[in-house]
Every structure is written in structure tokens, then in C-alpha cells.
Structure 1
């Protein structure tokens, strides 16, 4: 297969996904599966290998990520039902004061966003944004956008979110170092795209229509019997701390010793999240007066909405595997290496294009990582950890209309489509561009 033909196929596949999902409004999962099969056949892959290749890619991705999605979702559910999210929001906002409540919402988003999906974080925390907006007489955009920007940054750049874990695996990056760099780079991005940008957005995009959803939340009283701030934060941060300990195991213990092996085991993503979830069952469940049956009900309810997420993640992995097994990825890799295209920029562009195509940041990041991963093997001078971050930044670009988060923001804030584009799509694009710029600057030192 010639390089030109491989590039044409890849571009045609991405454009086809964009058109089928955005213009014809077809189901993203069906589109990804169909395009994956067609591109493999067009590349000359034997038909008896087409399906097995897709299943291999989807199975590898889901085998690595399904447990993380399930455990993270259950942990988020316990945080919501126990009032833990309320406790964090009220404590931080009370200490910040009225004039800095937008900054407080950003900090809340960074903390709560660590263990939960973006969509879950919005459901958990936007009711509090409405309440604080009414209490402090602050425009809702001044509170909602910093919160959502922080949730988006953690979703894209900081493990243990599923997409970042897939990128960690594809790039063979160090988990602890990635978390460290993600916090260092992600925090100023959240500041610029959150509290700073929201001041302009609230000024130039005034919300004049009544929002029944906001009124519904504002009328509700915040529960008084909430878990303590300290135990809630410990529960949220425990999986991150365990992963950091696992990453530092070789530095603080003798490699291959029993203690070293135990620390690596505890720092494993699945184990860290499992222990945090079990901890939440007690401190946010039984200790709060919930029965075992109620906790089981919470866990079962939280898993149902993850089905589509898992299907899309699996389809993204299958699509990436078809590109690899058909030889398209290698042809593009060889062209990129010979043309000396900056790998950090290439990974960002790939993630942004797939994000635009299917709307999912998770699929964008996982697909881009599966393509750029083999190229990284030929570029030892590029930091794998920065590759994770730049791919995550690209994966949230544009905030397109085929993203569920776009419509979630529109409905919650009572915006029109043009207003949502001017606010939320602008925030997502700002995060993506700032992420690329900051990572390129960091690459001069890392």
C-alpha cells in the first residue's frame, strides 16, 4: 500500500464519520463499526481477518477500561447520593467568599472531577451552581463555566479517567509522572478557560430566558446531614494517592521485593479504584445510614448509563486496530517519521479530528493514541507523559454538536444553540489550544 493511498483512506474514513454522524444523524457506534470494516476492506485486508481485527481492538480496549468505567461510575454515584459532592462544594465556596465563588467552583470541579466522568460531574454539581448563583446574585455562566472547564480538564488530562489510561498504555507512560504533569499543566488551563473566560462570556452572552431546571434546583434545600469534608476528600483522592505510591514504588523500595510488588499491586488502576469504591460503601454509605440494599441499588442504577460509553470506547479501539492491522497506520507512521512532523502536534491533530468526527473525547483520545503510539516508538526524545496530555487536550477540541456534553450544557443552562457554541464550544476549544501550547512549552524542559 502506498503512503498516499493510506492517507487518502484515513482522511476519507474520518470525513465519512463526520458526515454520517453530524449530517445524517446516524448512531455513532454503528458508524464507527461500519467505517472500521469498510476501511479495512478498502485497504486490502482479507475479509476473514476484518471482523477478528476489530474484535481484537475492541476487546483489548474494553478489557483494560471497562472495570475503570464501572468502578468510577459507582464511586461517583456514592459521592452524589451521600451528599459528599454537596459538602465539598459548600465548604470550598463558603471559605472562598462571594467575590471568589467562580474560583471556588473551579477548585470543586478539579477535585470532584478526578473520580467521575464529565457528564456525571455536571449532574452532581450544577444544582449547587444554581443555588450559589441565586444566593450570591452571580450570573450562572460565571459559576457553571469554571466548573465545567475544570471537569473537562480532569477528564482529558489526569488519570484515572478511562481515556487517559488508554493513552498511558499506548504510550507506555508513567502514571504518577503523568498525574503530576497533568496537575501542573492542567491547573492554569482550567483557570484561563474557567474563571478568566467566564467573565467575558457572562458579559457578552446574557441569559434572558427563564430556566425551569434552575428554578427546580434553587427551590430545593441543601441537606444538613452531610458527610465531613475531610472524609469525602480522602475518599475521592484515595485512588490517585494509591496510583502515585505505585508509580514511586521503585524509588522508595527495592525493586522486585515483596513490599515493592505489593505497592505496585495497590497502585494498579483497577485495584486503587476498587479499594476507593469499597471505602465509599462504608464511609459514604453504611456510615451515613444507608442499608446494604440501598447501596446495592445505587451501584446497579449507576451502571446502566455506562453501556453506550463502553460501546463507543470499544468501537474506537476496534477502529484503531483496523488501521494498524490493515497497514494504514504503519504507512502514515513511516510518512510522519520521514517527514519529521512534530509528534506532539500530530497527536493533538489526530485527537481533535476524531473528536470532531464522533463527538466523544474518550473515543478521540483512545483512537489517536492507538495511531500515534507506534510513531512514538521511533521518537525516543518525546516524553510519553506529554503525549498523554497533548492527546487529551486535542480530544476536547471544538465542543461539537455531536457531543452529548454540548446538549447537556445547553439544557442545564437554558441556552440557545448559538449561545452554547459561543460559551461551551469556546471553552472546550480554549482548553484544547492552551493544552497544545503549554505542552509544547513543557517539552522544552521535560
Structure 2
């Protein structure tokens, strides 16, 4: 019965948005209320759950997304994004530009939360699409695939590291196996998938990152553009490395954790960008602040919709749907690798949150590692892969992708949701193949 109610909620959400043209945020809140009460929650508790869901999601993301939008706007409006994109195009050529985006997304994604990497790279995606006149998703899907793969598979990303800690897996072996799986996965889910993605030919127009055409002398140097743009991943990578190699009492580690937190990394990057791409290039502070204000106002609805997705997710968690699914799956006798993937996948489909799905799964299948001699590193990757499957309307990431790229719900499912499913299935296949030889 709980799954029937969830299915009804998803169907109601689709009807409200597609048929009735109701705003996404209002639809999500309404559906969260209906599903929570239908699942047996007290109406007052349902409202509290919605508030916690919005607050929990935006509490961690609002400032990061806000700073990310500001940073991206400076990168775009200063000509730095055009400089980087033009250099990438010249180096790789238009025919191989997807590979440049994949490599960039892969490097950035290893050290960053998905959302941070997304808002950091989105101006670059729009700028490249603008100058090459290629469909936006032709550039955007490889970027999103690279970020998603690192989010689910590769330490030092917090997700895989947290799961590895629960399973007692070697982080270094998880990274080695993860890279082996990630490379073919991102190729198939990125550049290869776009060749089959027909009928969604949106161009990079009418968005907050619409590119202004800069003359050569108006753009900052390539070195200034790149060095400013990579400050966030450098700071976060520095923090991740220090957390792995230094003791908790180390002063250097404490400093690294401070400057390398996503919030501080983005804030520091904005301050640096104001000088390197603004003041040092002759821009007045008033002009720079206007750019930042435009960026902040441009993501208001995105923040609300992402928060609405968080509310729906929290209601599903608090109503006990996750525990219900876990109880059903835990009695199975199938391979622990497939079981970990399956539990994480069903939780992901029902709850929306990849992190919650993965962490819940880890707690459930942990006893199986010792009793079945399953490879802990492969269990980490199987769990991570399952937690990425078919992101849809109960996942805040779904709405973020939809709103930034200006897609309909159907287009988002055909592109983003299918891409995530390819990554998930490829991850499982890779884990099973490695398990044969490991």
C-alpha cells in the first residue's frame, strides 16, 4: 500500500504540472501534503516534515547555489567562460568538444558536491553551446554525466567515502575500481547517449548565462580565466586530501576543512573573481555588484522548486516508505552486490535522495559483507550505482536540471532520468564484471 500511495503521488504531480500547468513548487508542496496524510502521518507532522524538507535541502544548498550562480555569472560576464570555451574549441575542435566537457566535468566533480560542480560548470556549457550553435543538451549531458559518475563512484567525494567507512572498505581500492567503472560509464552515458537523444534541440538562449560576444581584447587571459575558475575544486580537493592523510587534531587539516567546505570555497572564489576578473580589469565595484544581484535574482524560482523537491523527499522518508521497502528487500537471498544495488535503486525511486538511499542501504546490507565475503569496495560501488537510478520528480536534482536547461518534465525524463539510469546500470555491470576477476 505505501508504494501505491507513492505512485499515486507521482502521478498527481505529473497531472498538476503537465495537464493543469500548476507551478512546480506549488505542485510539489501540494503532493507532499497529500502523500504524507495518505501514508498515515498526522497533518501537523506532515507540515513539519515539509518544513524540514525545504529547510534541510535549502539550508545546505541555498548559499552554495547562490554563490555558485554569482561566481558563474562573473565567469560568464567577464569573458572568462568565453576565453575557456574558445580555447577548448581550438584545442579539441567542435567534433571533440564533448570530450573536453567530459574531462572538465570529471576533474571538477571528483572534489565537489554535484550541485556545486553543476552551478560552476553551467555557464561554460551555455557559452560553448552559444558559440558552436550546438544543442544545449549535446554539451550539457556529458557535463552532467561526468559529475554524476564522480558523485556516485569516486572518493574523495563525500558519498563514496561515507559508504566506504560504513562497509570498512579501502578508499584507495574503491577509487581504483571506481575509475575502472567510471571511464566507460561516462563515455556511454555522456557523448554516446547524446547521439540517440533526438527531438530536444534547445539552444543556449533566454537564460541567465546567455553569452555576450566579447572581442579578443575584452577577455581576460586564459591563465587568469582558468586559475580563477578552478579555485573551488582546488580548495575542496585540498580539504579532501587533508582529511584522508592528516590526523583529526592537525591544524592544517582544520584550516583545509574550513577553506575547502563547499560554502567557503565558493565564497572565497567570488572574492578572488571580483578582483581578478573585475577590479583588475578596470570594472567598477557598482558594475560588479549589479552582476551579482542579477545572478541572485535569476535563481529564485530554481531554489523554491529544489526546496519543494526536498519537501516531497522528506515526507516520503518520515512516513516510513524507506523502512517499508528495506524490510521487503532484506529477506532476499540474492547476491549481496545485486541486493545492495537493488535496495538502493528502489529507495532512490521512492525517496528521490541518492545520499539517503545509499546510506540507508549501507546500514541494511552491512551484515552481509562478513557473512558472504563480499568485496567491500565493490559493495560501495554497487550501492552508489543503485542510488543513481532514474532520478525523477521526487529528486531535487531533477528539478535543478530541468529549470537550468529550460526543459519540460517529459524532456527532462528522456534526457536526465535516462542518463542517470544508464550510469546506474553500467555501474552494476562493471561491479559484477570486476567481481568475477577480483
Q: TM-score, normalised by structure 2?
A: 0.73
2:59 matched residue in structure 1: 63
| 1:377 matches 2:370 | no
2:6 matched residue in structure 1: 10
2:141 matched residue in structure 1: 149
1:291 matched residue in structure 2: 284
Determine the C-alpha separation between the residues in 2 that align with 1:405 and 1:323: 22
1:191 matched residue in structure 2: 187
1:360 matched residue in structure 2: none
Aligned partner (choices 221, 229, 236) of residue 236 of structure 1: 229
Determine the C-alpha separation between the residues in 1 that align with 2:308 and 2:11: 17
Secondary structure of the residue aligned to 1:290 is coil
- Tell me if structure 1 keeps the 8 A contact 2:159–2:355: yes
1:358 matched residue in structure 2: none
The CA RMSD measured in Å over matched residues stands at: 4.4
Q: TM-score, normalised by structure 1?
A: 0.72
Determine the C-alpha separation between the residues in 2 that align with 1:57 and 1:404: 16
Matches within 5 A, 1:207-218: none
1:357 matched residue in structure 2: none
C-alpha displacement of 1:198: 5.2
Deviations 1:214-266 (A, max 9, x none): 9xx99956443322222322222222222222222244323222222222222
Aligned partner (choices 290, 296, 302) of residue 309 of structure 1: 302
C-alpha displacement of 1:80: 0.1
- Tell me if structure 2 keeps the 8 A contact 1:149–1:190: no
Aligned partner (choices 325, 330, 338) of residue 323 of structure 2: 330
| 1:270 matches 2:263 | yes
Determine the C-alpha separation between the residues in 2 that align with 1:179 and 1:76: 29
Query: How many aligned positions are there?
Result: 400
Determine the C-alpha separation between the residues in 2 that align with 1:384 and 1:81: 41
C-alpha displacement of 1:293: 1.1
Determine the C-alpha separation between the residues in 2 that align with 1:171 and 1:129: 36
Q: Which sections of structure 1, spanning at least 5 residues, go unmatched?
A: 134-139, 355-363, 412-416
2:341 matched residue in structure 1: 344
Deviations 1:127-167 (A, max 9, x none): 5445445xxxxxx45xx55422223224534469xxx9996
1:137 matched residue in structure 2: none
Determine the C-alpha separation between the residues in 2 that align with 1:274 and 1:23: 41
Aligned partner (choices 23, 35, 39) of residue 27 of structure 1: 23
Q: Which sections of structure 2, spanning at least 5 residues, go unmatched?
A: 370-375
Aligned partner (choices 36, 40, 62) of residue 40 of structure 1: 36
Determine the C-alpha separation between the residues in 2 that align with 1:321 and 1:406: 21
Matches within 5 A, 1:111-130: 124-126=124-126, 128-130=128-130
Determine the C-alpha separation between the residues in 1 that align with 2:176 and 2:281: 33
Secondary structure of the residue aligned to 2:218 is coil
1:319 matched residue in structure 2: 312
